[in-house]
Amino acid sequence: MSGPPLLLPTSLKARTRSPGQSGYQVYMETFGCQMNEYDSEIVRSLLKTRGFQFTPHDDEADVILFNTCAIRENAHNRVYGHLARYTNRKQERGLVIGVLGCMAQNLKQELMDTRSFIDVLVGPDGYRRLPDLLMDALENRKRGLAVDLSEYETYAHIVPDRPDGINGWIAVMRGCDNFCSFCVVPYTRGRERSRDPEGIIQEAHQLVSQGVRQITLLGQNVNSYRSGEWDFARLLIAVGDVPGIQRVRFMSPHPKDFPPALLEAVAEHPAVCKTIHLPLQSANDRILDRMGRGYTQREYRKLVEAIRKKGPLVLTTDIICGFCGETDEEFQETYRLMQEVGYQAAFVFKYSERKHTIAARKFVDDVPEQVKGYRTNQIVELQKEISLLKNKELIGTTVEVMLEGHSKKSDLQWMGHSDHNVTVVWPKDDKVRQPGDLVPVLVMDASPSTLYGHVRS
């Protein structure tokens, strides 16, 4: 790697430490999805093992790390903005700056060529090398790079360093083999590989011992999980059976290969939340084909029908507006299908081209930004109407809520989430309660995003 020599950290005091141990202070920010949060927990564990310490205050840090996302343009822009903020401080104090994760993997050449103040660049499969790279940067003025993709790395046997709380997540697999044309994940996280089930179940037991009551299982396409005779349905049931686990969620399945056994597990296991995140992206067959999604609108509808037949299961989804070549009529097909299905919630995005994807190589990003914005707003407003209608249907019913803590607006109120992952707020009563408690709440009012009620006596 080329670039200007590193400045030694001038603000560091002399430290007494064991051979191979650091003692340096690290400040880390995480951008993107739950998988990135989980990766940051892996990074904290690896660095703490080598004696690095973490601080919530960037002005105390010797090392600044950004764990990044490459999926959305907004995430890119936020990272660039944060990097610029530390340029002067790096010169003044000799900070070591590292960029980790998907953006580091996908834009490695650009970042090292144009952001010469970056000292360490590490992709999602290179975290085991991070402690040594940071020590070289801090003490030997060497820049470091670890951006090779792995066919095998799952970070097995590394215990993530997690914050306290009742919610925890476990990555059950890494990478993706789907190669949707808009998606950069196969190029930033590599090919699909699954963790062994014993390690996952052991991690679930450890989470329970730390006070976690709700676990979310993570993977780019959890339907594809395979380890020997284990598929994802079997794994989901096994995690749900761990004593002390009250709720299990998972993100995300793919509509093209949703096995009946997984649907049975969701519908029948008492600990598995009755919510399925089923990304649609588009309802038009031509656009779906261009996206490389592997299903048609008709096949998606059939899956929704099968899910509905299993009982009161709630659906959420992802939508991309303004994909390459999308016409107004093709967009309207998506709008109409959303009306028909009635999702509880939707994550809606304007299409933004990502480097190295199939779409970037094969198609023209030709839908004007103004049109993308208009379509996105239309879907967002439609989803608000649907969410409000669905939440109002719950008025007068009792929902079981996992208490998480005080309401953001008042210490006189509790807040938590229902099984269907809707926020619920209610006044405190005289009973002593703790985060993780399951509380019956009678719903009295509703907004598109929140239910309001009181404890059912």
Report pLDDT for 8.
Answer: 42
pLDDT grade, residue 296 (50/70/90)? very high
Which of 11-15, 203-207, 379-383, 416-420 has the weakest average pLDDT? Answer: 11-15
What are the tens digits of pLDDT across the range 377-411? 999 999 999 999 999 999 999 999 999 999 998 99
Produce one character per residue of 263-284: b if its CB has 16 or more CB atoms within 10 Å, e if not.
Answer: bebbbebebbbbbbbbbbbbbb
pLDDT top residue among 348 and 86? 348
Q: Minimum mean pLDDT among 141-145, 169-173, 329-333, 394-398: which range?
A: 141-145
Q: Is the pLDDT of residue 250 over 80?
A: yes
348-380 confidence digits (pLDDT tens): 999 999 988 999 999 999 999 999 999 999 999
Among the listed residues 456, 454, 432, the one whose alpha carbon sits nearest the alpha carbon of residue 445: 454
Give residue 193's pLDDT.
96
Model pLDDT, residue 359? 97
Report pLDDT for 7.
Answer: 43
The b-or-e profile of 342-367 (16+ CB within 10 A means b, else e) is ebbbbebbbbbebeebbbbeebebeb
33 is in an annotated binding site: yes
Q: Compute the distance between CA of residue 209 and CA of residue 417 in angstroms, rounded to an integer.
A: 22
Residue 111's pLDDT is 77
Which residue has tokens 């903020």? 85
Q: Average the pLDDT over each of 84-98, 137-151, 372-386 and give the range with the smallest value.
A: 84-98
Q: What is the pTM of this model?
A: 0.90
Helix (H, G, I), strand (E, B) or coil at 216: strand
pLDDT one-digit tens code per residue, 127-136:
999 999 999 9
Average pLDDT of 118-142? Answer: 94
176 annotated as a binding-site residue:
yes
Rounded distance between C-alpha atoms, residue 314 and residue 310, angstroms: 11
Question: pLDDT tens digits for 13-32?
Answer: 334 444 446 689 999 999 88
For 128, other C-beta atoms within 10 Å of its C-beta total 15
pLDDT score of 72: 66
Both structure tokens of 281: 């992206």
At 242 the pLDDT is 98
Distances (CA, A) of 14 to 17, 141, 162: 10, 17, 29
Nearest to 170 by CA among 123, 214, 129, 234: 214
Q: What is the pLDDT of residues 33-61, one digit of tens each?
A: 889 999 999 999 999 999 999 999 999 99
The pLDDT confidence band at residue 457, using thresholds 50, 70 and 90, is: confident
Q: Is 183 marked as binding a ligand?
A: yes
Q: What is the pLDDT of residues 261-274, one digit of tens each?
A: 999 999 999 999 99
pLDDT at 12 over 60: no
Q: Are 284 and 333 in contact (CB under 8 A)?
A: yes
Residue 273 annotated as part of some ligand binding site: no
Residue type, 257: D
At 9 the pLDDT is 45
Of all residues in the chain, the percent with pLDDT exceeding 90 is: 80
Q: What is the pLDDT of residue 456?
A: 86
